[in-house]
Amino acid sequence: MLTNSAKRERLIRKIDALQAQLSLNDIQQLIFQVVSSGKNVFITGSAGCGKSYLSETIKKSIPNLVVLGPTGMSALNVGGQTIHSFFSFHTGYIDPIDFIKKIKKEKLQLLKKVKYILIDEISMVRADVFDNIDVVLRKLNKSKKPFGGCQIILVGDFCQLEPIVKTYEERKALQERYGKNVYAFNADAWLTGKFVCLSLISSERTSDSYYIKSLRNIRMGHEIERSLNTINQITNKNPPPPGTLRLCTTNAQVNKYNGDGLDSVAGFTRVYTAVVKGNINPKDCIAEKELELKVGSRVMAIANKTGSYVNGDLGEVIELGQNYVRVRLDRGGDVKVTEHVWKQLKYTVGKSEETDEEVVKPKEDGSLKQIPLKLAYAITIHKSQGQTLDKAILDLTQGTFGCGQAYVGLSRMTKADGLYLAAPLDETLVLYNEEAVNFSKQIGYEMLEMIPILKEKYNLESIREKLAKDIRDAEEELSNIAIEHPKERKALGIHFIKEAVRRTEIGLQVGLIKYTQMLKANNIIPEVSFKNGNITNITFIHDDITYKWKEVVSDETFVEYLERNEVDTEDYPEDFINKVNSFSNAIKQEEEDKKQRRESLLKKFLGGGL
């Protein structure tokens, strides 16, 4: 039987998943409904279209989902395990029959329990690996169904990254079996798996129509010369501001620019050494094992912290603490960046807390703790994937050597005005695989035809109404669960207020009055402190417990938070107007009293009384 604490955790996870589903746009919601139907699905789309957010929502919503990536870095980024590690695959070819004979008992038990698998960056998965996944799952489950009856969810863009073939022998063997290309869609398992291919056809990242059209053309290998000419013309021709991030194709370039950038800053260098535990390869992590920084150096955030900074935020170091760094963000505001932990997960078999049934569960296999910052004078295009930048210098002067590399670099920017070119672009820099492009084009065309059919099948209004009701019901159920221990009450309250503050941040755009009203609607009472008529701090009262600002929001002060969100600090909440007025009146009265005392002293002096 579940304890109250376990029930609360389950409900909190459920509410989080439902809220994520409710926030999906129309196309994301339709795709999510197809995924929920149990079909094998491939989700694709251009850079910035919302693939990552949809993936996160799927991960939150499907219990016991196994999340895999083709490389160590991709697995860390998606919070999963590598394909080769999970299936105990070796590099090169594997005979599935021999593999099953050699498999360890624990791994055999694990693979038999798998029901749902999500593979990210599917474009990097070779056809032979994909076929091996299918064969192994079929044989272990003694099933003729594709992938042994497991639901497979694939996410990626075949126009960006391509499979890695390390040796001539591998390439020769692969080509003999699959032909020229070795993408996952070339595998036998792609056809037998009957994947429903769905495309997120709109871009969430960019807001410049000419730029968007040119990017789409480059991604699809269409009118490349014309599109590059357009980009060459509409990009920013002014000298880039000092410290502008440079996107490069090679590590050698990045190391040179970052080294030169750090050397150009006066002062001492502080080195932050990562703490590595367990089974994790530091090379797979985006964080530096040895992070060298100076006050004044340019940095980029490589993790998210609610209410403080996001992955891709750029800024300048203003303070180097023992285990933190304070950064002045380019978008405004100072933030305290503390250590972040990257976890390497490993899937095992464990008992479900709700049913006692044996299920696949993730556990930590290793971790790396480091300040989530990188020097931001330069970064490779490959490592910039998934990030949105306001401005950058695209440096392709060393050429490109991978399909989609130019496109990935160009699509990091939100608009052409934020793009500075180290040199004009020409057609030789745009490499693409014709079969991958044609495959992606076909999915896009089919998606346009499928949207009205899906909208007829899935009533989005009804779906969202039900989600909103389910959230209310779950929140009511959560509020009715007794909390035995004060520490548990406070921990739950902190989570609740954090989520409420995050959801109501939009209220700051219309001032503090609206903000406090929205918080009160969530049964959170904000108390604002004043000094000499100015806001100095805020605390929150929920369920008769008082929470400090920094416990639930961020490391910055409340005033810094207001300034970063461009809130007029004179827009006091209505509840506190009288308090503010009393401060103001007291100050005015004090000034009046001082004036009268001075006048009295002057009269006494002139009258000879002193």
pLDDT in tens, 409-429: 999 887 889 999 999 999 999
CATH of the domain at 70: 3.40.50
What confidence score (pLDDT) does residue 501 get? 65
pLDDT at residue 228 in the model: 94
378 and 248, same domain (yes or no) = yes
- Please state the φ and ψ torsions of residue 529, each to the nearest 5 degrees: -100, 145
The answer to whether the beta carbons of residues 90 and 84 sit under 8 Å apart is yes
- Pair (289, 353) in one structural domain: yes
Report which DSSP code applies to 285: S
* Domain assignment of residue 27, yes or no: no
221, 66 in Cβ contact below 8 A? Answer: no
581 pLDDT higher than 50? no
- Asked whether residue 244 falls in the same domain as residue 182, the answer is no
CA distance 547 to 29: 36
Separation CA 329–CA 307 (nearest Å): 13
- pLDDT for 144 equals 92
CA 201, CA 441: separation in Å to the nearest integer? 11
Residue 476 neighbours by CB distance under 10 Å: 10
Comparing 204 with 256, which gets the higher pLDDT? 256
**For 192-216, what is the mean pLDDT?**
80
Number of domains in the chain: 3
- Say if residue 566's pLDDT is above 80: no
Mean pLDDT of 528-552: 72
Phi-psi category of residue 79: left, alpha or beta, with phi > 0 → left and psi -120 to 50 → alpha: left
pLDDT category at 562 given cuts 50, 70, 90 is low
Query: Of the residues 385, 402, 430, which one is the last residue of a structural domain?
Result: 430
| Spatial CB neighbours of 435, under 8 Å, sequence gap ≥ 6 | 180, 181, 183
Q: Is residue 477 domain-resident?
A: no
Are 310 and 353 in the same domain? Answer: yes
Highest-confidence segment of 35-39, 81-85, 168-172: 35-39
* 282 part of a folded domain: yes
Q: Answer yes or no: do 255 and 196 share one domain.
A: no
- 386-400, 431-445, 574-588: which range is least confident on average? 574-588
Q: Among the ranges 270-274, 333-337, 554-558, 585-589, which has the highest mean pLDDT value? A: 270-274
Region 382-410: what's the mean pLDDT?
89
pLDDT at residue 579 in the model: 45
Split at pLDDT 50, 70, 90, the class of 576 is: very low
What tokens were used for 529?
């402190």
Residue 523 in any domain: the answer is: yes
Whether 452 is in a domain gets the answer: no
pLDDT in tens, 36-63: 999 999 999 987 788 989 999 999 999 9
Residue 513 has pLDDT above 50, yes or no: yes
Tokens representing residue 192 in the block: 């037998």
> 248 and 168 in one domain?
no
Which structural domain, as residue segments, surrounds residue 121?
A: 39-203
The mean pLDDT value of the chain amounts to 84
Poorest-pLDDT segment among 300-304, 332-336, 499-503: 499-503
* d(C-alpha 487, C-alpha 353), whole Å: 22
- pLDDT at position 54 is 95
Q: Please state whether the predicted TM-score (pTM) of the whole model is above 0.85.
A: no
Asked if residue 494 belongs to a domain, the reply is yes
- Provide the pLDDT confidence category of residue 101 given band limits of 50, 70 and 90: low
Cα atoms in the Cβ-side hemisphere of radius 13 Å centred on 209: 0
What local confidence, expressed as pLDDT, does residue 10 receive?
Answer: 86
- Confidence band for 356, pLDDT divided at 50, 70 and 90: confident
Q: Are residues 198 and 301 located together in one domain of the fold?
A: no
Q: List the structure tokens of 68.
A: 């895999």
Residue 220 lies in a domain: no
Q: What mean pLDDT do residues 76-84 have?
A: 89
Section 100-113 average pLDDT: 78
Q: Which of 430, 448, 474 is the last residue of a domain?
A: 430
CA distance 492 to 7: 12
Looking at the chain, the whole-number percentage of residues with pLDDT higher than 70 is: 80
- In this structure, of 209-213, 339-343, 381-385, 603-607, the range with the lowest mean pLDDT score is 603-607
Asked if 142 contacts 111 with a C-beta cutoff of 8 angstroms, the reply is no
Q: Are strands 373-375 and 378-380 parallel, antiparallel or unpaired?
A: unpaired
Q: Are residues 238 and 156 in the same domain?
A: no
Domain boundary among 184, 203, 222: 203
Residue 444 in domain: no
**Lowest-pLDDT choice from 275-279, 322-326, 392-396, 568-572:** 568-572
**Does 416 lie in the same domain as 492?**
no
Q: Which ranges of 458-564 would DSSP assign to H, the alpha helix?
A: 460-479, 486-504, 512-521, 549-552, 558-564
Give the model's pLDDT for residue 533: 55
Taking the C-alpha atoms of residue 471 and residue 291, their distance in angstroms, rounded to an integer, is 42
319 in the same domain as 359:
yes
- Residues 171, 244, single domain; the answer is no
- Give yes or no: residues 290 and 407 share one domain: yes
Higher pLDDT, 328 or 491: 328
